[in-house]
């Protein structure tokens, strides 16, 4: 009788323990969902301040505050789970700890401590954001995601559809009530910048395509979303996300060919159609702007121009600025036209920025110049203002130093290894989006509006890999 009673007591205690764990998991899941929805939603609120001409409030009331606030809850629940031994610390956790420790040391040694903590205006990627990213990974990777990972992915896709609709309205609506933060022909939606929107749509397009190919439900919806996201990426007129997308589609085709030969025709069809949508959109949108809507389109600010210039160098024929000023209302003298084109000039080119970054790295080799202190240090070597290295790996090395860079790469490599050898469908879909972003990172920057979703996807890769068995996406 005594043994039987002890067994019942143990079972009851185990149930209570699981119930408590379940409550924390539900809270963590709710917080992750809140972060995903709050980032673009708050941007919509911020835009109203800009619409009223109050750009100071627009800059100050950033969504980073929501991210930091939500992360306090994630930190508390993570500590509780560790203390109660509900989760195990693995090597990914250790790498994350080392990364945050490196960032903390870099913060203490930074030229501007306030910037290192809060981040620069409208970016807010100081150590508070870095800690938030770390907590997102630690939380998502430990969620029992059997039924929840699909919800997270579908929420991301739904938010992507909303962003895409807003992007289309921004580009093709003439209403004065439509707020834009860039040129008329460059969509930024709720991401605040066309480049950020391009990165956001790149991730969404890859995930939607993967879901279309591997899910048992809602195939038509995923199919439509894939093409919509590709089109929206083109509306952003950002070339590097398009390059990342091309690699992502290639990886999807390789994966399907290797593991699902019965779906290869379906994969080739969606890949081919996405390519057609991209090509038609690249050239069609520029035609609409210049010849139909009579909107002046500046050279080097469209994907079409980037492609033309790239191939023009090989055949010895480069584009001039003339065609891009034919619809200007004012007659701009030829000698002054290049003053209107600043984003791709020599001083703002990536090679120039990377060269300056190497000097910052040499000076602050071990611990970096400090989170979001890049612009201050860039000023020491250049008269222009640049706040990002336009290469995430170089930027991390410059701001967090050797130790921060090594720990960051350890997280990426460990995630890559787990995702590569996983047989889980969700893990593979998110893994392909993960490596797509890693390639894109060679020419891009991290911003809260995009990289937060990247770390959620990274966490899903790690969480899904816990179950190495092949499973249905919907069960």
Residue 401 to residue 404: CA distance in whole angstroms: 5
Of 185 and 255, the one with more pLDDT: 255
Give per-residue pLDDT as tens, 300-309. Answer: 677 877 777 7
C-alpha closest to that of 302 among 335, 261, 270, 344:
344
Of 299 and 305, the one with more pLDDT: 305
- DSSP conformation letters of 376-444: HHHTTT-SS-----SSHHHHHHHHHHHHHHHHHHHHHHHHHHHHHT---HHHHHHHHHHHHHHHHGGG-
Averaged over 79-83, what is the pLDDT? 93
pLDDT the model gives residue 70: 97
How many Cα atoms are found within 13 Å in the side-chain-facing hemisphere of 315?
9
Q: Please identify which residue in the block is written with the tokens 């222009």.
A: 384
Give per-residue pLDDT as tens, 245-284. Answer: 999 999 999 999 999 999 999 999 999 999 999 999 998 8
Q: How far is CA 163 from CA 57, 59, 178, 210, 372, in A?
A: 22, 20, 14, 20, 27
Record the pTM: 0.88
Query: Residue 10 — pLDDT band, cuts 50, 70, 90?
Result: low
Mean pLDDT over the full length of the chain: 85
pLDDT the model gives residue 52: 74
Where are the domains positioned within the chain? 2-464
pLDDT the model gives residue 305: 75
pLDDT the model gives residue 133: 98
Q: Is a pLDDT exceeding 50 seen at residue 341? A: no
Q: How far is CA 271 from CA 1, 152, 249, 433, in A?
A: 66, 24, 6, 15
User: Percentage of the chain surpassing pLDDT 90?
Assistant: 58
Tally the residues of the chain. 475
- Nearest 10 degrees: CA dihedral of 177, 178, 184, 190? 150
C-alpha closest to that of 24 among 32, 13, 35:
32
Beta strands in 256-349 (DSSP E): none
460: which residues sit within 8 A by CB, 6+ positions away? 140, 145, 149, 152, 153, 426, 427, 430
Averaged over 173-177, what is the pLDDT? 70
- For 344-358, the three-class secondary structure string (H helix, E strand, C coil) is CCHHHCHHHHHHHHH
Sign of CA pseudo-dihedral 214, 219, 222, 227: positive
pLDDT the model gives residue 306: 74
pLDDT the model gives residue 12: 52
CB burial of residue 16 (10 Å; 0-12, 13-18, 19+): exposed
Q: How far is CA 150 from CA 27, 28, 233, 323, in A?
A: 17, 16, 23, 47
C-alpha closest to that of 320 among 303, 302, 339, 334:
334
C-alpha closest to that of 29 among 134, 130, 149:
149
Q: Please identify which residue in the block is written with the tokens 């069609």.
A: 284
pLDDT the model gives residue 5: 53
Residue 453 to residue 174: CA distance in whole angstroms: 31
CB burial of residue 35 (10 Å; 0-12, 13-18, 19+): buried
Sign of CA pseudo-dihedral 87, 89, 92, 94: positive
Q: Is residue 302 a contact partner of residue 286, using CB atoms and an 8 Å limit? A: yes
Residue 240 to residue 207: CA distance in whole angstroms: 18
Query: Residue 465 — pLDDT band, cuts 50, 70, 90?
Result: confident
Give per-residue pLDDT as tens, 390-402. Answer: 999 999 999 999 9
Give per-residue pLDDT as tens, 388-435. Answer: 999 999 999 999 999 999 999 999 999 999 999 888 899 999 999 999
Number of Cβ within 10 Å of residue 228's Cβ equals 23
């Amino acid at each position: 009788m005594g043994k039987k009673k002890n067994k019942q007591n143990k079972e009851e205690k185990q149930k209570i323990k699981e119930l408590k764990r379940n409550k924390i998991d539900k809270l963590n899941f709710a917080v992750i969902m809140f972060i995903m929805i709050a980032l673009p939603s708050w941007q919509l609120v911020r835009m109203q301040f800009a619409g009223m001409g109050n750009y100071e409030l627009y800059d100050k009331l950033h969504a980073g505050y929501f991210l930091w606030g939500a992360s306090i809850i994630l930190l508390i629940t993570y500590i509780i789970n560790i203390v109660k031994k509900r989760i195990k610390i693995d090597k990914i956790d250790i790498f994350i700890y080392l990364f945050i420790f490196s960032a903390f040391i870099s913060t203490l040694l930074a030229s501007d401590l306030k910037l290192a903590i809060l981040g620069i205006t409208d970016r807010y990627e100081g150590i508070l954001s870095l800690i938030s990213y770390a907590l997102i990974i630690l939380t998502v990777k430990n969620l029992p995601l059997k039924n929840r990972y699909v919800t997270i992915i579908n929420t991301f896709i739904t938010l992507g559809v909303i962003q895409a609709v807003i992007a289309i309205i921004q580009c093709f609506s003439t209403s004065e009530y439509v707020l834009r933060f860039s040129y008329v022909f460059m969509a930024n939606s709720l991401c605040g910048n066309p480049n950020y929107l391009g990165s956001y749509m790149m991730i969404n397009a890859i995930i939607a395509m993967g879901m279309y190919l591997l899910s048992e439900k809602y195939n038509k919806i995923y199919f439509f979303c894939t093409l919509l996201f590709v089109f929206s990426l083109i509306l952003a007129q950002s070339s590097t996300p398009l390059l990342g997308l091309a690699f992502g589609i290639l990886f999807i085709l390789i994966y399907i060919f290797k593991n699902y030969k019965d779906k290869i025709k379906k994969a080739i069809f969606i890949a081919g159609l996405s390519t057609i949508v991209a090509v038609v959109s690249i050239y069609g949108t520029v035609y609409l702007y210049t010849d139909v809507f009579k909107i002046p389109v500046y050279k080097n600010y469209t994907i079409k121009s980037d492609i033309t210039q790239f191939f023009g160098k090989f055949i010895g024929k480069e584009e001039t600025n003339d065609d891009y000023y034919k619809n200007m209302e004012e007659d701009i003298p030829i000698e002054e036209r290049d003053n209107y084109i600043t984003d791709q000039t020599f001083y703002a080119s990536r090679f120039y920025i990377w060269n300056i970054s190497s000097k910052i790295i040499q000076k602050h080799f071990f611990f970096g110049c400090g989170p979001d202190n890049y612009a201050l240090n860039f000023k020491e070597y250049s008269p222009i203002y640049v706040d990002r290295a336009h290469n995430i790996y170089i930027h991390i090395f410059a701001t967090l130093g050797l130790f921060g860079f090594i720990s960051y790469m350890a997280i990426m490599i460990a995630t890559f290894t787990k995702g590569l050898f996983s047989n889980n469908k969700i893990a593979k879909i998110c893994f392909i989006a993960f490596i797509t972003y890693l390639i894109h990172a060679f020419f891009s920057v991290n911003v809260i509006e995009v990289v937060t979703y990247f770390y959620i996807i990274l966490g899903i890769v790690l969480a899904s890999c816990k179950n190495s068995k092949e499973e249905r996406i919907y069960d």
